[in-house]
Chains A and B, each alone.
Chain A
């Protein structure tokens, strides 16, 4: 019984990936005069990248891609509304069925077994050893977005299987996103691939910042703070628990946004543009704002393919709250088959509803005032309100992270109970770890265009200086980072 992760693959911050990228960059651009050959090569490289984890799952990736492709073609030809609905329904059902089998089968049977045992109705259930294909949640969502976008008429059905294969398997985003939309990516495949100084500058900045975030901040915080504190929350003091959860907030941000940065940077160096996936999420002054900044490709996917089809905020207030709750609940379930993720999602959904309710009531009670004096007071009030909002939102998010990170509901409970006693030791509150947490938080409040300014400075560098900068950057990061490379957190989703 159970579920295993296949995690012995090619990770971005390794020499293996460096060699792989060197080959892909050189051969890929060498084939730019033959666009079809270039696409074949990139698809082959992406399948090699994916097969590095477990070659058996390349068949699954191809099969689901073929289903999406055929679904898109059928939608392109069908005219009757009912038949189009049928096609999109079947294709999405197959996508979700595959995801459900690999990701939720074990969880469902375990939960059913526990329920039956509780009522004294124990049965032998058909448990299976299932290995979860890495990145399945990401490429399933990409496949769904493709057929739904074709159904909605946002994009034309793609006639080239090769383009759909590259869209779904393109290695920078394959295993942990960002979730790329067909409407964004497939048109780029129709145009000749281009590389400019801007692509190189953006790619260099993103790869270096991504590596630094992941290899230095996330890895140290994981091994020296978060893992020990979450391993047994009852063995550490309340201050350790507090810095532990702040540390996890920074770790998961640096881990996941670091991966996204590298993915976007690698794609840029191959001539493709992905959208931003993180926008300094911990500076958000409300949960709604947080979800506009955190894992943007997933939150916008959930908005466009779940929240809006459910009715969004178009119906009554009660229906809006229901839609928020369902969307966030399913967003939680998407992350994994565990009750802790269910609670995490449901908590966010409930708090988003409460936030919306309070905001509506406050606006009714204190409508915006007019006049100069009122404007000054209003600005001061807005600033104070904003700062309170930032601190409050960060702590709400941290509270939810406890459930997200804990390996069981019991561990999360122990973690929360630990805050009742502040007399224990605080061995993990060291200057080094506190400094890393502070550094991670500083990233949240730097000017938004800092990366852009760095890229603009880099774009004028001649190639020897660019090489020295990139090489020195990688060397320093490698020297500073702890030994070994931990897998990215989001690989398991």
Chain B
């Protein structure tokens, strides 16, 4: 995969060609930076919306002080709002699913396999 990151140096040493290539590279870089910056802000928004509980954990680590207290209060209110609007649910559903997997024993795996085989048999029949 890392071969995709070849340096792409131009062999042509004519000044004009090099200048044009540099300008093109600058433009590609400018557009790529803007593209990834936009993507990162979307990531931030998604995390603030769907993972607001984590925000409280981080803010709680800031220490004690008026600014910190305000940040804690703000993040707690934000988290409550997200929970009220059901945005904390997807993460909770995933966590519950993983918890079920963690607690599953071999007998449940066996039962699940039998059930799956039965469903497959019915569908085939």
Partner-B contacts on A (CB < 8 A): 15-16, 18, 22, 25-26, 29, 32, 188, 191-202, 205-206, 224, 264, 268-269, 271, 273-276, 430-432, 435, 449, 451-452, 455-456, 462-464, 466-468, 470-472, 474-476, 478-480
Q: Are A479 and B91 in contact (CB under 8 A)?
A: yes
Confirm or deny: B32 has a beta carbon within 8 angstroms of a beta carbon on chain A.
Answer: yes
Residue total for B at the interface (Cβ-Cβ under 8 A): 46
Nearest B-chain residue to A191, judged by Cβ: B7
Beyond A273-B2, A432-B102, A475-B91, whether A29 also contacts B33 by CB under 8 A is yes
By a CB distance below 8 angstroms, the chain A residues around B54 are: 15, 478
Separation in Å of the B74 CB from the closest CB of chain A? 15
By a CB distance below 8 angstroms, the chain B residues around A197 are: 32, 35
Separation in Å of the B13 CB from the closest CB of chain A? 15
Given A198-B5, A431-B105, 10 other A-B contacts at CB below 8 A? Answer: A15-B58, A194-B7, A196-B8, A199-B5, A224-B102, A273-B5, A274-B2, A430-B102, A431-B109, A475-B91
Instruction: Give A359 to B47 CA distance when docked, in angstroms.
Output: 54
Main secondary structure of the interface of A (DSSP, over half): helix
Q: Are A200 and B36 in contact (CB under 8 A)?
A: yes
- Across the interface, B42 reaches (CB within 8 A) one of A29, A449, A468, A479, namely A468
Q: Are B43 and A471 in contact (CB under 8 A)?
A: yes
Please provide the 5 A-B residue pairs with the shortest distance between their CB atoms, ordered closest to farther.
Answer: A467-B42, A471-B46, A467-B39, A479-B94, A471-B43
By a CB distance below 8 angstroms, the chain A residues around B40 are: 22, 25, 467, 470
Instruction: Give A16 to B62 CA distance when docked, in angstroms.
Output: 11
By a CB distance below 8 angstroms, the chain A residues around B3 are: 452
Q: Are A474 and B47 in contact (CB under 8 A)?
A: yes
Beyond A470-B43, A475-B51, A475-B91, whether A198 also contacts B36 by CB under 8 A is no
Main secondary structure of the interface of B (DSSP, over half): helix
Nearest B-chain residue to A199, judged by Cβ: B5
Q: Are B5 and A475 in contact (CB under 8 A)?
A: no
Q: Are B38 and A464 in contact (CB under 8 A)?
A: yes
Q: Are A195 and B32 in contact (CB under 8 A)?
A: yes
By a CB distance below 8 angstroms, the chain A residues around B2 are: 202, 264, 273-276
Instruction: Identify the interface centre among A193, A455, A456, A478: most chain B CB within 10 Å of its CB.
Output: A478
Separation in Å of the A476 CB from the closest CB of chain B? 7
Instruction: Give A162 to B42 CA distance when docked, in angstroms.
Output: 34
Q: Are A478 and B51 in contact (CB under 8 A)?
A: yes
Give the A-B contact count at a CB cut-off of 8 A: 143
Q: Are A466 and B39 in contact (CB under 8 A)?
A: yes
Confirm or deny: B37 has a beta carbon within 8 angstroms of a beta carbon on chain A.
Answer: yes
Instruction: Give A475 to B105 CA distance when docked, in angstroms.
Output: 27
Partner-A contacts on B (CB < 8 A): 1-5, 7-9, 22, 25-26, 28-29, 32-47, 50-51, 54-55, 58, 90-91, 94-95, 98, 101-102, 104-106, 108-109
Instruction: Give A18 to B7 CA distance when docked, in angstroms.
Output: 27
Instruction: Give A269 to B90 CA distance when docked, in angstroms.
Output: 29
Q: Are B104 and A432 in contact (CB under 8 A)?
A: yes
By a CB distance below 8 angstroms, the chain B residues around A451 are: 1
By a CB distance below 8 angstroms, the chain A residues around B22 are: 192
Instruction: Give A456 to B46 CA distance when docked, in angstroms.
Output: 24
Instruction: Give A188 to B33 CA distance when docked, in angstroms.
Output: 18
By a CB distance below 8 angstroms, the chain A residues around B108 are: 431
- Across the interface, A463 reaches (CB within 8 A) one of B39, B58, B105, B106, namely B39
Q: Are B1 and A449 in contact (CB under 8 A)?
A: yes
Nearest A-chain residue to B43, judged by Cβ: A471
Q: Are B37 and A25 in contact (CB under 8 A)?
A: yes
Q: Are B25 and A192 in contact (CB under 8 A)?
A: yes
Nearest B-chain residue to A480, judged by Cβ: B98
Separation in Å of the B113 CB from the closest CB of chain A? 11
Nearest A-chain residue to B2, judged by Cβ: A276
Q: Are A200 and B50 in contact (CB under 8 A)?
A: no
By a CB distance below 8 angstroms, the chain B residues around A202 are: 1-2, 4-5
Nearest B-chain residue to A33, judged by Cβ: B26
Q: Are A200 and B1 in contact (CB under 8 A)?
A: no
Instruction: Give A329 to B34 CA distance when docked, in angstroms.
Output: 49
Q: Are A475 and B104 in contact (CB under 8 A)?
A: no
Separation in Å of the A464 CB from the closest CB of chain B? 6
Q: Are B1 and A467 in contact (CB under 8 A)?
A: no
Q: Are A475 and B46 in contact (CB under 8 A)?
A: yes
Instruction: Give A269 to B37 CA distance when docked, in angstroms.
Output: 11
Q: Are B42 and A480 in contact (CB under 8 A)?
A: no
Q: Are B46 and A194 in contact (CB under 8 A)?
A: no
By a CB distance below 8 angstroms, the chain A residues around B51 are: 475, 478-479
Instruction: Give A194 to B46 CA distance when docked, in angstroms.
Output: 28
By a CB distance below 8 angstroms, the chain B residues around A466 are: 35-36, 39, 42
